[in-house]
Structure 1
């Protein structure tokens, strides 16, 4: 099985490296040619367009910024639909619009292909280690055909038919972003009331307020870098998609909208490339409080894959 991979950003590059580590022959493409270097250095072959990747692969994995980019991959001038899709599988890991993606999948399927959605949750360290969680939708036959590729990147969690993966990812990120914004308010309140940040963090873990965000992301506040591996630009894209989905379903969204506004403010103050947890820095700065804690806080992007660790690679 030859695997193609399109979109070699922070998450995609590491996910693709794990597919290559699993022994698959690979063809890769990114609109930034230099982004292919890490994969071609380990034997992957470069391609010139999405259509070129699809033509040379059995399974193509895509992981791009958002709806506009993935639509270009499929419907664009050199996209999938410009060639035969017969007998090909497409696994999309992009955080995108369920409505759009169901339409794209139907077009891919009409040309003979098998679409599977598998958006991921987790951070760049999970992509490096190869233990990302993927919300996987599609027919049983299509999912089983691509299972070895997905499991090379992490854990497969079935969510039903195609499109449900995007829904699961959006509501997952909805809770993640709301909690991220709330953590800043809780931490600053605790410190102003006499409870130091490190003590607060230690006693919150394992209790009713615990979450992945609290466990994984608070150290980026302590370190003061706020995790730029997931920038505010991506947070705002996701929150826009979440609000779009809630509008489509007619769901009340006061908490989500307030969170979106807080992230917009963080982007205005600190820039769209600032780390996701700068949503908490807004509260720090307004209260004239610093939540720095001395310590050796391992940054997510400094995590090393087990195979590289054994080989002494950094």
Structure 2
């Protein structure tokens, strides 16, 4: 079945842009969100509104979700008016929230019981990647569902890859977040060192961002740090959630991740000091108090 009518649940910083790109690619969109105000631009562009995830599911061939926390995913799928309340055989659900691998497997099993399919497909690329349809999409689930969903991934991302069975997308995203966590500490410490040494951090950044030290965080978030721009492309509170999931999974696998443990500790300190709704680049505040 060719997917034409798409539902979208979760219109936050990432979701609004992703939903907009699906519409630009020609898909018919029905949306739902806790706050209808977040959907106004999409509705003005021709999207339809539904009052619940169940209603979205009934209107669509496939539904994409990207919400905040695993508890939100649980409610969106299994709640009284959740997606599975409106699910019928042949339909597809794609959860793009960074969430629990175990919950992804639970969703996949329930979709199969109901005669449909499910994928877990968390993303990387932040607000810029979502806006520019250049997300990296990490997918878990059956290959048949993956093939069916590829036109949607093409509308939202630049790279997508099936990593394995249900939960494999989430585990891949955990690996992504682990790498980012330690890298973000390194970027902050490099800039703090440059400033303490009496150098121009902007000039230092220009020299090191194109070499072996280069990274997405170095090129895209370090300039924001130096400007004191801590607006969220990805919230600190959501990064803490992701690191918590990764640490829980690591403990289950009896794996020691000291770098991730330190990053988690620092970000929790940042949140305690009022930074939970900042972007992840706000970690720099702990190294450069004058930026607070």
From 230, 236, 247, the counterpart of 1:232: 236
CA contact (8 A) 1:63 1:94 kept: yes
User: Structure 1 77/209 Cα, relative in aligned 2: closer, same or farther at 3 Å?
Assistant: same
The worse-fitting range, judged by mean Cα deviation, of 12-21 and 83-92 is: 83-92
What residue in structure 2 maps to residue 119 of structure 1? Answer: 122
From 109, 114, 135, the counterpart of 2:112: 109
From 14, 19, 30, the counterpart of 1:11: 14
- The alpha carbon displacement at 1:142 in A equals 0.9
From 266, 272, 280, the counterpart of 1:268: 272
What residue in structure 1 maps to residue 165 of structure 2? Answer: 161
3-state SS in 2 of match to 1:135: strand
- The alpha carbon displacement at 1:165 in A equals 0.7
Displaced runs of 4 or more, over 3 A: none
From 216, 220, 226, the counterpart of 1:216: 220
Query: Structure 1: 5+ residue runs without aligned partners?
Result: 292-314
Query: Structure 2: 5+ residue runs without aligned partners?
Result: none
Quote the Cα distance in structure 2 between the aligned partners of 1:138 and 1:101: 9
CA contact (8 A) 2:31 2:47 kept: yes
Give the alignment's TM-score, normalised by structure 1: 0.88
Note if 1:75 corresponds to 2:78: yes
Note if 1:56 corresponds to 2:48: no
What residue in structure 2 maps to residue 249 of structure 1? Answer: 253
| 1:111-135 per-position Cα deviation (integer Å, ceiling 9, x unaligned) | 1111012111012111111111111
The worse-fitting range, judged by mean Cα deviation, of 66-75 and 130-139 is: 130-139
Note if 1:139 corresponds to 2:138: no
What residue in structure 2 maps to residue 149 of structure 1? Answer: 152
| 1:172-204 per-position Cα deviation (integer Å, ceiling 9, x unaligned) | 011112211222122111221233211221121
Quote the Cα distance in structure 2 between the aligned partners of 1:81 and 1:90: 9
- 1:179-190 paired onto structure 2 within 5 Å: 179-190=183-194
- The alpha carbon displacement at 1:226 in A equals 2.3
What residue in structure 2 maps to residue 311 of structure 1? Answer: none
- The alpha carbon displacement at 1:256 in A equals 0.8
Provide the aligned length of Structure 1 versus Structure 2: 288
Quote the Cα distance in structure 1 between the aligned partners of 2:175 and 2:232: 22
- The alpha carbon displacement at 1:52 in A equals 0.7
3-state SS in 2 of match to 1:31: coil
- The alpha carbon displacement at 1:95 in A equals 0.3
Quote the Cα distance in structure 1 between the aligned partners of 2:221 and 2:65: 26
Note if 1:24 corresponds to 2:36: no
Note if 1:178 corresponds to 2:187: no
3-state SS in 2 of match to 1:264: helix
What residue in structure 2 maps to residue 37 of structure 1? Answer: 40
Quote the Cα distance in structure 1 between the aligned partners of 2:231 and 2:178: 18
| 1:68-103 per-position Cα deviation (integer Å, ceiling 9, x unaligned) | 001101110111222443110111100001012111
User: Structure 1 275/249 Cα, relative in aligned 2: closer, same or farther at 3 Å?
Assistant: same
CA contact (8 A) 2:143 2:162 kept: no
Q: Please give the root-mean-square deviation of Cα atoms over the aligned residues, in Å.
A: 1.5
- The alpha carbon displacement at 1:227 in A equals 3.5
CA contact (8 A) 1:4 1:59 kept: yes
- The alpha carbon displacement at 1:143 in A equals 0.9
